[in-house]
Amino acid sequence: MHAYAYGKHEEEAAAIAADIGFEQISQSHQLMRSIKYVSRTTTTTVDAYLTPLIVEYVRNFSAQFEEDLGERIYFIQSDGGLTRADQFYGFKAVLSGPAGGVVGCARTTCDELGEDVKTVGFDMGGTSTDVCRCDGRKVEHVMEAEIAGVPLQAPQVDVTTVAAGGGSVLRWENHMYK
């Protein structure tokens, strides 16, 4: 419970898990040193679930190139920043797609309309519709958000999912859109 201050117990549990064959072991004190127990736990769970999938994705992506690109492959994280492929973790990748949209919105509108433009971005993708607000190139960040009902503690762009994506059907029911 207090691993944010003393991670030794998590390290001991991780060593036992490794000894019995677990390959992916996420430890909350390594991911996010925060006093908030519930969101730290859910963040660690999300990381443990997603990181092996991301590692496999990166491996398959990298294998498509004739030469070994090694440290030249970068991915965008939930905070809108880039990271090397070998440091692209599950809990920092949850909003990587929407983060790319937010950064792209801020930069594109500034390039076209000037540095002092204020923008509301609307990004409708295949799985979600996300809305953001940008003040010039400045992108707002939050340290905790609820994503699909799960509290997640990680630096991330301030983006709000307002609807499902382009493949979804919007309907009017009980005086509201669903």
Q: Give pLDDT, residue 165.
A: 67
Amino acid at 67: E
CA dist 161 and 146 (Å) reads: 11
Predicted local confidence at residue 106, as pLDDT? 94
Tell how strand 141-147 and strand 138-139 pair up: unpaired
CB-based contact 157:102 (threshold 8 Å): yes
Average model confidence (pLDDT) across the chain: 88
What does each C-alpha distance from 29 to 26, 39, 91 come to in angstroms?
A: 9, 12, 13
Can you spell out the DSSP letters for 122-148? EEE-SSEEEEEEEETTEE-EEEEEEET
pLDDT of residue 120: 93
Low-confidence ranges of the chain (pLDDT < 70): 164-170
> What's the CA gap between 30 and 102, in Å, rounded?
27
Contacts of 168 (CB under 8 A, 6+ apart): none
| The pLDDT value given to residue 1 | 76
How confident is the model at residue 169, as a pLDDT?
66
Phi first, then psi: what are they for 145, rounded to 5°?
-150, 160
**What Rg, from alpha-carbon coordinates, does the chain have?**
19
Q: What is the largest CA-CA distance in the chain?
A: 58
Residue-wise burial string across 7-19, b where 16 or more C-beta atoms lie within 10 A, e elsewhere: beebeeebeeeee
